[in-house]
Amino acid sequence: MLHDRTLVRRLLLDESRPVVVAAQGYRQDRPEQPIEYRAKRFVVASGYCWSSHLLLLSANRRFPNGLANSSGLVGRYMNGHAFISASATIDAQTYPGLNMTHSLISREFFRCPVDKPFVRHDTRVWESSSGRDPRLRSAEGRLLLGNELLEDWRARTTGSSVRLRAYVDVHPSADSGLTLDPQKTNRYGDPMPKIEHRLDAPSIARQAATREHVLALFNTMAKASNGRIVSTGAGDYLDHPGGGCRMGTDPSTSVCDSFGRTHDHENLFVVGAPTTPTAGCTNGTLTFVALTLRSAGEIARA
């Protein structure tokens, strides 16, 4: 049975063994009535932010730094991919506005040859109607109606604009972190999470060369359709965030194993975005789904 509108606030440990025995929380509609779940196994699947948050909130006398946190790495190595984008005009006719939400994606740069400087990214192109939508006023501010509007629109839909984007593989530093912020609390008085993303030194050192590589590729793509780049940009945040409970084989450098089983508590699993050590170079959800199915098999075997 799925219980919706239910917020889990804390995981409780057995008195003598380091296993989780209960999850406590509230129905959002009945905050005055605490609710408690007891089970043999617990799976934290609360996303990159709230999974670490819940483990840190569940600190107790024996685990004062939070559950699953003997490595000190819960809420660390928070990650995501950086991105570089551009707009280009091209000669081809793509009928602006007809197919804006669907992109074409290339995996050509998912892998990096070992004898080349490290750069990994996806490459994506969308048709764009930017500057080519119908408009009620001309560039000079004159009202356009009827045929005048259509003529103005037709003139601007000759040729096409495209949006280009690359999600770039960047790696977090250990202090790329989620911490509990006592200054901000939710309605139950629990401290809210505060996330500060930081890249590791090699990722920072690669930034200029990566940008040069990606923009050269965008240029080549635009030229292939007799076009030109008209603007470029870069994200000031990391997209598709993950991390905080990274997986690994060594309990001193990771929070859980590749099945999501936490090193500290044999009946506590973490699945989904929090377990990724890095965010890779393209949208991760299908990978999270595949890994979670793998975890489900392991949990069922247990």
Ligand X SMILES: Cc1cc2nc3c(=O)[nH]c(=O)nc-3n(C[C@H](O)[C@H](O)[C@H](O)COP(=O)(O)OP(=O)(O)OC[C@H]3O[C@@H](n4cnc5c(N)ncnc54)[C@H](O)[C@@H]3O)c2cc1C
CB of 212 to ligand X, least distance (A): 27
Residues in region 251-290 near ligand X by CB under 6 A: 272-273, 283-285, 288
81 near 169, Cβ under 8 Å? yes
Instruction: State the Cα–Cα distance between residues 271 and 258, nearest whole angstrom.
Output: 10
Q: Is 270 helix (H, G, I), strand (E, B) or coil?
A: strand
Is residue 45 near ligand X by the rule CB under 6 A?
yes
CB of 54 to ligand X, least distance (A): 5
> How far is residue 293 CA from its own chain's centroid?
19
Using the rule CB under 6 A, give the single segment among 1-9, 34-42, 72-80, 216-224 that binds ligand X. Answer: 1-9
CB of 219 to ligand X, least distance (A): 26
Exposure letters 159-174 (e unless 16+ CB within 10 A, then b): bbbbbbbbbbbbbbbe
Residue type, position 196, single letter: E
CB of 229 to ligand X, least distance (A): 25
48 near 195, Cβ under 8 Å? no
Tokens of 13: 């440990």
Tokens of 133: 């939508």
In the complex, residue closest to ligand X by CB: 272
Site string for ligand X, 214-253 (x = CB under 6 A): --------------------------x-------------
Tokens of 275: 């377990």
Site string for ligand X, 52-91 (x = CB under 6 A): --x-------------------------------------
Measured from the CB atom, the residue of 24 and 219 that comes closer to ligand X is 24
Instruction: State the Cα–Cα distance between residues 235 and 56, nearest whole angstrom.
Output: 29
Q: Which of 48, 47, 49, 63 is nearest to 11 (CA)?
A: 63
Is residue 138 near ligand X by the rule CB under 6 A?
no
Task: Tell me which residues touch ligand X (CB under 6 A).
Answer: 6-8, 45-47, 50, 54, 240, 272-273, 283-285, 288
